[in-house]
Amino acid sequence: MLTVRACAKINLTLEVLGRYPDGYHQIASVMQLINLSDTLTFEASDRLQLRCDIPQLVGDDNLVLQAARLLQEAARCRQGALISLQKGIPVNSGLGGGSSDAAATMKALNEFWKLDLPRQQLEALSAKVGSDVLFFLDGGTALVEGRGEKVTPLPSLPRHWVVLLKPPFDVPRKTPGMYNRLDSSHFTSGQFTQTLVECLEKGERFDGSLCYNAFEQVAFSFFHGLEEHQQSFLAAGAGWVRLSGSGPSLFTLVEDRATAEMICSKLKGKAYLAGTL
Ligand code: C5P
């Protein structure tokens, strides 16, 4: 039996630079791994099976099963596994939970099935599962470009506390829908991401004014009530609040634990407390 953790991410910046002919978008993003996590357990089995504490997530489209099948095919492997997924990351929330589960599954099954697939092959397979999956192979703080397939490690963001608010919106096929709502007025040149990258490389002080998210405008008009959640987050003491991914999760970063706990307690059980990794 093998048990691994799959951690969430936040986007410190998320810029959309343009649209490729196939409809995908070119992004520039600084992604940051945080210690809010799902847990995956792998046990020997003659076939591939997934169990989850949220049963609605068990289906052929689950990225864990897609990752496992791709690995089986690539390694011509006939082994199965009983995979148990315990969700700690809110689902469909802009925190990358599904992508992180897929990356964790690839790494774990490569070991559990003793496949020894080289790193390069895992990278190629992870990009097939989803645009964000490659980032989660190593996590940390990274510059993510292209569709997500170009990942460059950055110096770690100094440790911060992360307060997250996941408003109760659940929209099927949310990510493509949010990308479709963007037009060229939401595109930027990558300058916000570049400024943050320089700040991290020079070891300069980080603050929330360096964060940016191209989806905020469309998210605030699409998710009715998101603005009220942002206002209550600010009223609870957050100096600034940003959207993660295509939403609807909102986050702020603070340096000290007492402030983070105070904001969390004022949000009365609606918030998650985590830390950057
Ligand atoms: O790659 P992934 O399956 O996670 O992407 C989900 C959807 O999000 C894609 O079908 C596409 O509509 C959109 N997307 C995009 N540009 C990206 C990543 C995702 O348009 N860079």
Q: What is the pLDDT of residues 130-148, one digit of tens each?
A: 999 999 999 999 999 999 9
CA proximity to 83, closest of 40, 134, 139: 40
Task: Work out the pLDDT band at 270, boundaries 50, 70, 90.
Answer: confident
Binding site membership of 18 for ligand 1 (Cβ less than 6 Å): no
Residue owning tokens 């603050």:
207
Taking residues 251-262, report their average pLDDT. Answer: 97
Q: How confident is the prediction for the chain on average, in pLDDT?
A: 97
Ligand 1 pocket, residue 130 CB under 6 Å? yes
Rg (CA), the chain: 19
Beta bridge partners of 44: 81
The stretch 197-209 carries a mean pLDDT of: 97
> Is the minimum distance from the CB of 174 to ligand 1 under 6 angstroms?
no
| pLDDT at residue 87 in the model | 98
Q: Which of 11, 17, 22, 25 to mutate to test the pocket of ligand 1 (most atoms within 8 A of CB)?
A: 25
What atom in ligand 1 is closest to the CA of residue 24? 20
Ligand 1 pocket mutation, candidates 31, 131, 149, criterion most atoms within 8 A of CB = 131
Residue 183 backbone phi and psi in degrees, to 5: -130, 180
**Cα separation of 182 and 27, whole Å?**
12
Question: What is the C-alpha separation between 108 and 88, in angstroms, rounded?
Answer: 18
Residue 179 Cβ contacting ligand 1 at under 6 Å: yes
Output the pLDDT for position 105.
98
Give the percent of the chain with pLDDT over 90.
Answer: 98
Q: 269 pLDDT exceeds 90?
A: no
Q: Please, which residues have CB within 8 angstroms of residue 50's CB and are 6 or more apart in sequence?
A: 58, 62, 64, 65, 83, 84, 85
Which pLDDT value is given to residue 69?
98
Q: Average pLDDT, stretch 225-249?
A: 98
Residue 175 is given by DSSP the state H
Q: What pLDDT is attached to residue 233?
A: 98
pLDDT at 177 over 90: yes
Kindly state the tokens that stand for 100: 């992180």
pLDDT of residue 248: 97
Average pLDDT on 187-196 reads 98
145 Cα–ligand 1 center, Å: 13
In the block, residue with structure tokens 């990225």: 63
| 181 pLDDT above the threshold of 90 | yes
Could you tell which of 24, 93, 135, 171 is best to mutate to test the pocket of ligand 1, judged by most ligand atoms within 8 Å of the CB?
24
Instruction: Say how many C-beta atoms besides its own lie within 10 A of residue 260's C-beta.
Output: 23
User: pLDDT at position 149, please?
Assistant: 95
| Mean pLDDT, residues 187-201 | 98
- DSSP state, 148? T
* pLDDT exceeds 90 at position 213: yes
End-to-end alpha carbon distance in the chain? 26
Tell how far the Cα of 208 is from the centroid of ligand 1, in angstroms.
26
How many angstroms does the Cα of residue 24 sit away from the middle of ligand 1?
6
Q: How much of the chain, in percent, has pLDDT values that exceed 70? A: 100
Q: How far apart, in whole angstroms, are the C-alpha atoms of residue 258 and residue 166?
A: 21
The CB of 25 under 6 Å from ligand 1? The reply is yes
The Cα 22–Cα 13 span in angstroms is 24
CA 239 to ligand 1 center in whole angstroms:
31
Segment 65-84 shows an average pLDDT of 97
